[in-house]
Amino acid sequence: MAHDHHDHDHDHGQEPPSDMALRVKALESLLVEKGLVDPAALDAIIDTYEHKVGPRNGARVVARAWSDPAYLDRLRADATAAIAELGYGGRQGEHMVAVENTPEVHNLVVCTLCSCYPWSVLGLPPVWYKSSPYRSRAVIDPRGVMAEFGLTVPDEAEVRVWDSTAEIRYLVIPERPAGTEGWSEEALTELVSRDSMIGVSLARAPETGA
Amino acid sequence: MNLPETGPIDPRVFDEPWQAEAFALVVHLHDRGAFTWTEWADALTGEIKAADDRGESGGGDHYYHHWLAALERLALKRGLAEPEALAMRREAWADAYRHTPHGQPVVLGA
């Protein structure tokens, strides 16, 4: 049995990668030849999204909004501009909207059609955000979906679901946890999880966070 | 339902290099004005909707399959590439792998 399969590739070539990888290589190399794509720019984009852009950006926006009422006002008036103040810009030119959680209102973000997501402040979306169950159920049964994340929103609070589009992306500003009076922005940033800015969880409480 | 994949921030952004490359191609082509972001979102939505209808999109694991299919479709529609050239180029890359010794970079026409 051990010798049933001889390697016929006597020049010791490599096994081609997956069909998906070959398709990307084919398209990319054709586009590079035509001058439509600059390989160095591709590398820079990958580096940015693998290493530089992530939910910490959004956490800094939230911590600033918690700490600085004037900033919160600017965020409410024009979230795209207020977020850009911290150096985070949407490269698709999408319009950012900040939605604030309060004791009366809890906000939840979804993209029912595909996976529109505020990359500049949250990085790329988690797998579940792109999944069919989340996309289809977040609008129909938001409380049920949030419960699966371990989040129970009080009955008396209104749940608002925001459906992202290619043009508009939403960032949830979670409620500032109690017991964080006088905390620095940096310390507050540690309490703000990715999921809390999508709306499927709350900001961490000081006892368990940081 | 398999929804929450909780825990802290997902450390791996892309599961495989081709996903990162396909992602970057879309962002870059858009930056260069090859298509608008709305056109891109429409193309991606179309692929995902078709997969949803087939019951295949599931847990989001195949997201970048849809992403690449949408990119190819949009590239062909926009005349950025031709179907025959794409197919031939794909074979050329497969051949290049088969004829490149381990440990050496794979280049076309090797």
**Structural domains counted in chain B:** 2
Whole domain around residue B93: which residue ranges? 83-110
In a domain, B11, yes or no: no
Tell me, yes or no, whether B74 and B92 share the same domain. Answer: no
| Residue B1 to residue A148, Cβ atoms within 8 A | yes
pLDDT of A4 reads: 44
Provide the chain A residues 107-126 that lie in CB contact (below 8 A) with chain B.
113-116, 123-124, 126
Q: Looking at the domain assignment, is residue B25 inside a domain?
A: yes
Domain contains B39:
yes
Given a cut of 70, the residues of chain B with pLDDT beneath it are 1-12, 57-59, 109-110
The reply to whether B57 and B74 lie within a common domain is yes
Q: How far apart are CA A155 and CA A137, in angstroms?
A: 19
Domains in chain A: ranges and CATH: 19-50 (no CATH), 55-198 (3.90.330.10)
Do A192 and A59 form a contact (C-beta atoms < 8 A)?
Answer: yes
pLDDT in tens, B11-34: 568 888 999 999 999 999 999 999
Are residues B98 and A16, on separate chains, in Cβ contact within 8 Å?
yes
Residues B59 and B87 reside in one and the same domain: no
ipTM of the complex: 0.87
Within a domain: B4: no
Question: Would you say residue A210 has pLDDT above 50?
Answer: no
With b meaning 16 or more CB within 10 Å and e meaning fewer, what string describes B43-63?
Answer: bbbbbbeebbeeeebebbebb
